[in-house]
Amino acid sequence: MATDTNDPNPDTGWWYNTRTGEVEHGNLSRSIDRLGPYPDEATARRALEIARERTRQADRADAEWRGDD
């Protein structure tokens, strides 16, 4: 998919495409298939790792809020 050249403010972020497993620069695919934006390619490559850690942190916060041990 090509970047929309008519956009006066093109997206310059880096994205991880969950459907293809590829890193993309700019708005190249459907938003439902992407994680990001990330500031650089290396960070985008770690998208799944970052998402897992954020989920673990949210789960811990929820458990603390509920008073679970």
> Is 2 contained in some domain?
no
> Is 7 contained in some domain?
no
> Is 22 contained in some domain?
yes
Count how many domains the chain has. 1
> Is 46 contained in some domain?
yes
Q: Residue 1's pLDDT is what? A: 44
Of 19, 22, 20, nearest to 44 (Cα)?
22
Q: Residue 12's pLDDT is what? A: 77
Reading the chain (69 residues) residue by residue, the pLDDT tens digits are 444 557 666 667 999 999 999 999 988 899 999 999 999 999 999 999 999 999 999 999 999 999 886
> Is 8 contained in some domain?
no
> Is 4 contained in some domain?
no
User: SS3 helix, strand, coil % of the chain, rounded to 5?
Assistant: 40, 15, 40
Of 26, 54, 55, nearest to 38 (Cα)?
26
> Is 61 contained in some domain?
yes
Q: End-to-end CA distance of the chain: give it in Å, rounded.
A: 48
Tell me the residue range of the domain where 40 lies: 14-66
